[in-house]
Amino acid sequence: MEVHAILASLVMPPLAPLLGILLALILWFFPASSPFAKLSLPLAMLSFSVLWICATPAFSYWLGERLGGTPAAPDTVPQVVVVLGGGRYREEGSGSERLSATSLERVLWGAQRAPAQLPVLVSGGRVYEQEQASEADLMANLMQEVFQRPVTWRENCSRTTAENAVNTAAVLHDSGVESVVLVTHWWHMRRAAEVFARAGLQVRPLSVGSSAELLPRAQSGLLRWMPSAAALLRTQVYWREILARQWYRWMPLPPVRSC
């Protein structure tokens, strides 16, 4: 998992353009007669421009649009609601853990908007060894104690979207389930729905939010091209999702993972 995270960071802002600026600085100290020294200024300018553009609302808005809309729903009647985990926060000193904002939104969406008559499965394990409770346990506790929505299954072992899919399919197929309502964020839904379909489950999407939320954030005029931390964060999320979507299209499904 750490190797995947490092490789993804190497081709994403802000690390990729920052590495370009660092390389340009190194080339600056080459002898003036060296052809590498002549690359220093153009590389620095290119890297700085890429970093600036990636941190603008205009670019994050454009990138979010590339993710497309919600996939079409099948005609079958769903049998189960599946809520996917989206991370957690962990305090190193105390070891206390709580759901991330992304996970909280998905739990809230599933508890309030999914069909009330359907049973619920929550999916998410421990990504890192130092984590204590699984994301599924954290989500189930919140859903039951705060929203009074019973959770029938807890899929505690998955670490990725692909593992969410194959582990969930293994659990639900044993109960005769073939069709689910899938709850995850709009920018994650297409990849998640595709891999769940490959695992043998028919998916009715229930997306948290929609691409329409990009519109008020895009701002107008000159502000669209002024860098901001919020825009850079959105660019990272969308860029990572685009890369992951391409990766998932040719990678085989992983085996069912046990804890």
Strands (E), 1-95: 80-84, 88-90
According to the model, what pLDDT value does residue 160 have?
95
Both structure tokens of 199: 């695992």
Name all domains of the chain by residue range, CATH numbers in brackets.
2-67+214-247 (no CATH), 80-213 (3.40.50.620)
pLDDT value of position 219: 62
The tokens describing 23, both together, are 């390389």
User: Can you tell me the distance from the alpha carbon of 72 to that of 207, in angstroms, rounded to the nearest whole number?
Assistant: 12
In which residue are the tokens 């996939």 written? 71
Per-residue pLDDT at 72:
84
Residue 222: burial class (beta carbons within 10 Å; 0-12, 13-18, 19+): exposed
CB 63 within 8 A of CB 50: no
Check residue 69 and give its pLDDT.
Answer: 77
pLDDT tens-digit profile, the chain (259 residues): 556 677 778 888 999 999 999 999 999 999 888 888 889 999 999 999 999 999 999 999 999 998 877 888 888 899 999 999 999 998 877 778 999 999 999 999 999 999 999 999 999 999 888 888 999 999 999 999 999 999 999 999 999 999 999 999 999 999 999 999 999 999 999 999 999 999 999 999 999 998 877 765 556 678 889 999 999 999 999 999 999 999 999 999 999 998 8
